[in-house]
Structures are given as C-alpha cells and as structure tokens.
Amino acid sequence: WSQSPFAAWMDRLCRDGKHEWCSIKDEPDEFAVLLAEKGNEWEKECLARITREREEVQYQLKVKDDLLSGAVDFLVPTERGFEVWDSKLSTKAKPTHILQLCCYADMLQRNGYDMSNTAKIVLKGSEECVDLRAFSPVWRRARKSFEEFTQRYEANGEIPRPRPNVLHGRWNTLAQKLLKDDVSSVYGTTKSVRQKLRNAGIRTVDQLANAPSGRIKGIRYDILNRLKKQAKLQGTDPLGFEIIRD
C-alpha cells in the first residue's frame, strides 16, 4: 500500500470480487515464483527449529480486525505475553518488516491476546529482537492513514490513480495502460490544470479530446482548446502532429 495504493486497492476489490478488472491481473513472473518458493522453504526450516526448542507455537495463525487481515508466521508464548515471530528471506531487517510485526501484534491485541512488547524477525543467519514500543507511533500513523484511504475510496467508489515510475506488482500492465490513458499524460498539462480538469469530471485523454465546447473554471479558453487538440492527437495517433500557425 505504501508503494502502490492502486495495487492495494485492486487486491482489496478482487478479494471481494467486486470489479471487472479482476480478470486481467498479471501472471506472476518466474523470479517472483522462485522467491516465494525459497521463502516457503525458509519458513518451514524456521518452523522445524522453533518447534524443537519451544512448545505450543502457533503457526500461520489467521487474524483480522475491522480493517486488516493477515497470517502470523509464528505466535510464541513467553512469560511477558505472546510474541510475534516472522521469518524473512534476507540477512537484514527492513522498516517494512518491523511495521508488519507491529501490525500483527496490534491485530492480535485487538482480538484479546495478551501481547508482549517485543517481537522477533528470523533472518538468514541471525535473529533480530524488536521493541515494538519504539515503533508503535509510526505504526499508528500508518494505520490511521490507511483507514482514511479506505474510507475515502469506499465512499466515492473510485479506484486510486496509479503512481508513475513505481512497480504495481501483478497490476503493473493495467497500471501502465491507465497511466497512458490518464489526462496527466496529455503533453502540456500542468498539475493545477490537471486538477481542474478532474474537478470537472475529465480524467482521461479521450474525455478531454471529446469535451464539449465551453469553459472550465480556472482554465483559459485558448489553453483548453490547445489541450483538447493535443488529446485528440495522442488518442488517435501517438506519432501524429499538426502544424499550428500563428
């Protein structure tokens, strides 16, 4: 979600089977499949080791609250309460790994579990203990931001516009098509003009090209006409051109 709100929202829609675009999700690439297989193998190695050393470990525990859902790799009982342990196929912990631990611990606590203030990332070659209290303010802000994000798009029924120059997972092909069709791709538009066009209900190249004659609040008449011509050129022939005489 932090990298691609568009991909996160499409995953959410398709989990509920709510959108026609769900059928055009990209197939996983070979590297992603290989990485997932390696990750599963490492997870099984960790499970075998942890269960040899500890009893009553819960594996792949499904948990959800009113906003989020997930599966905890390992829930380990300790004298300080339950600890979330997560296996990662890397040698160093990343900020996203820590936020994931915070997320799981928070969901479990909301479901009545007596949680420890610590959690653990099981890395290749080492283990890293995390004090969740140090990162809980960051997690609370992230959760609140995600909650506002879901409320906003559930309320208006829209899908977030894909961000340019980022990867969108298995929605990458669809994202690139939408970016190509988005009004922001029309040459000569500025950020303020794009926002005024969207406020007027014009979000795609085709909508701008076929916009009725008239004025749009905040956009000069001559600029609007020039952008409409540009949109028509881009929509019909990306290599097309027109000689404009002064």
> Using 50, 70 and 90 to split pLDDT, how confident is the model at 228?
confident
pLDDT at 246: 45
Read off the pLDDT of residues 173-182 as tens digits, 9 standing for 90 and up.
Answer: 888 887 778 8
Read off the pLDDT of residues 89-146 as tens digits, 9 standing for 90 and up.
Answer: 889 999 999 999 999 999 999 999 999 999 999 998 899 999 999 999 999 999 999 8
pLDDT at 156: 66
- This model's pTM is above 0.75: no
Residues 138-160: b if buried by 16+ CB within 10 A, e if exposed: ebeebbeebeeebeebeeeeebb
Q: What whole-number distance in Å separates Cα of residue 170 and Cα of residue 190? A: 30
CA neighbor of 186 nearest in space, from 214, 216, 207: 207
For 117, other C-beta atoms within 10 Å of its C-beta total 14
The dihedrals phi and psi of 77, each to the nearest 5 degrees, come to -75, 135
Q: What number of residues does the chain have?
A: 246
Report the amino acid identity of residue 28. P
